[in-house]
């Protein structure tokens, strides 16, 4: 399940332009009195299904949304259908899983509107296990405009067993804390403000060799390999880490991606302890259980 051989090329990316469509202008197209439609394509192996997935991202008006088998799926909290080891969005029978790394990239780029993400699989490709390939893919779209942020006036501490997620009014920051009974991990933490969120993008997903068979039997991590995940045996990681705190950074990356589902930046002093996708989603639902009428979550 955690294949040790090097797989074939993980992804493919290209840019297309169509001067007949009315989208964001480039300098050259302005001189022609026309506009350029930007479309990018990336593909690779999926983490859980182990199959190939092709994604096309293109410009269109409205909020960011996915399109699977002709069905549009909003990148919204209300569309979450699953949180087991990843975040799954769906409408009717249409599903798109492992959306969190792409959404974290959109968050850091302030690309909250104007994009459609078309997928030919029920799962996005895992690429190298981090969000860095997504950032590179999204580069042609540039930086977006940050919308008005959501700033809760009172705090909330949402608990699930030994895990918790809390927000307090104050200067915007995100802090993630993890703890694993493994000699190479133990306690780790990452904390930073919005100016440092981009430092999370290269942190990869991780797993344990001891859990491989159990995950495989559950139909999970069928596409996991050393090329797209940090794999730990009983002693430590089987390949070098990119950062000493890479695991804590990846947990922060996941939290950022899940918070994108609000459709607006969430600002305050946010602390996540032993986070999970279920924790993030349940926290956001409780925080905005009495949302303002103008918010569409």
96 and 88 Cβ atoms separated by less than 8 Å: yes
Catalytic residue among 48, 250, 277, 280: 277
187 is catalytic: no
32 and 21 Cβ atoms separated by less than 8 Å: no
Q: How far apart are CA 77 and CA 116, in angstroms?
A: 17
> Rounded to the nearest 10 degrees, what angle do helices 246-259 and 277-287 cross at?
40
76 and 64 Cβ atoms separated by less than 8 Å: no
- Catalytic residue list: 277
């Amino acid at each position: 399940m955690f294949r040790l051989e090097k797989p074939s090329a993980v992804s493919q990316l290209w840019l297309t332009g169509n001067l007949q469509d009315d989208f964001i202008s480039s300098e050259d197209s302005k001189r022609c009195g026309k506009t350029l439609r930007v479309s990018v394509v990336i593909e690779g192996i999926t983490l859980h299904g182990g199959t190939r997935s092709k994604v096309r991202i293109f410009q269109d008006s409205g909020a960011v949304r996915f399109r699977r088998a002709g069905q549009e799926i909003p990148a919204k909290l209300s569309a979450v259908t699953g949180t087991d080891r990843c975040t799954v969005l769906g409408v009717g029978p249409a599903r798109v899983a492992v959306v969190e790394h792409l959404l974290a990239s959109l968050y850091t780029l302030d690309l909250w509107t104007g994009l459609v993400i078309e997928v030919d699989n029920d799962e996005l490709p895992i690429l190298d296990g981090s969000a860095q390939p997504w950032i590179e893919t999204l580069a042609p779209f540039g930086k977006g405009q940050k919308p008005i942020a959501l700033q809760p006036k009172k705090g909330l501490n949402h608990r699930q067993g030994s895990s918790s997620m809390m927000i307090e009014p104050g200067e915007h920051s995100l802090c993630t804390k993890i703890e694993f009974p493994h000699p190479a991990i133990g306690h780790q933490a990452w904390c930073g403000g919005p100016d440092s969120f981009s430092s999370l993008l290269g942190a990869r997903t991780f797993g344990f060799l001891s859990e491989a068979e159990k995950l495989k039997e559950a139909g999970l991590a069928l596409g996991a390999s050393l090329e797209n995940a940090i794999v730990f045996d009983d002693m430590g990681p089987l390949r070098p880490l990119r950062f000493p705190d890479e695991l804590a950074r990846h947990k922060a990356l996941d939290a950022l991606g899940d918070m994108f589902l609000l459709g607006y930046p969430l600002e305050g002093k946010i602390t996540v302890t032993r986070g999970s996708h279920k924790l993030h989603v349940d926290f956001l639902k409780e925080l905005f259980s009495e949302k303002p009428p103008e918010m569409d979550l």
